[in-house]
Homo-oligomer: A and B are copies of this chain.
Amino acid sequence: MTLPSTTSEPLAAACAAALDAVHRQAPLVQCLTNHVVSGFTANMLLALGAAPAMVDIPAEAGAFAPVASGVLINLGTLGGRQPEAMREAAAAAHSAGTPWVLDPVAVGALPVRTPLAAELLGQRPTLIRGNASEIAAVAGADTAGRGVDATIDVDAVSGAAGELAGRLGAVVAVSGPVDLITDGATVVRVANGHSLLTRVTGAGCALGAVMAAFAAVTDDPLTAAVAASCAYGVAAEDAASGAAGPGSFAVALLDAVATLTPDRLADRARLEVVR
């Protein structure tokens, strides 16, 4: 991959400014997410300098979303009445203008989450984050996922992601070895990251929450998604350098996110912008 730094420098600076805004504003991020990753997700938001609020039950979820700075809806495990709470939160976020992120975990063939994801698109998510298989499924492309694993390549869904983004007026972020982020017009590739992220449960899910935090402090969702992805990737690179395996890597990732500065983010960003 060629990284034309002349093109990407303004975006790297915008990412740094967004991180600074997160630090200053400490956005309150409401998470309706799965029980597997809820603790790690909340810790990631706290490490970032944001404030998590895991308000995810009916009657409370809709009441809270207008107060929140950003909302994450992650379909990983839909226990109890969580789907109802998600409908409430998405509708309330949409009405109130609270930016919200949809993470369509393992959407495709599974019969509860797949129609729920389709329904929630009607509430106009600000951002949609997933792996290539999940984004393909949301976009209605013909693919088969294997649970939460991406079985297809990021670049293979570039067209579907752009079409989905354009149709919904949303930003679509496809996670992979190189993340692909698009609003339907511009495509950004973020080359930061580390393969150990695939060995930590909830690494992708927590990135969705980080995107909601960034979306809360910037008016441009494309910048928010790129800044989140890039900050996360730089922190992962730092964390991996001293890790003895996935356990110590996950711990170090929280430390690295907590100590990442805007300047360091700008220096280390590896972005490619295609308009």
Contacts and interface: CB of A to CB of B under 8 A. Distances in A.
A113 B110 CA distance: 27
A147 interface: yes
Interface string A18-42: 0000000000100000111111101
A100 to B, nearest CB: 16
A14 interface: no
A123 interface: no
Contacts of A255: 243-248
A39 B33 CA distance: 13
Give how many copies assemble into the complex: 3
Interface string A59-82: 110011001000000001111111
B106 A63 contact: no
Given A35-B38, A54-B76, 6 more contacts: A28-B149, A43-B200, A57-B79, A64-B110, A199-B258, A250-B254
Interface of A: 28, 34-40, 42-43, 46-47, 51-57, 59-60, 63-64, 67, 76-82, 106, 109-113, 146-149, 198-202, 243-248, 250-259
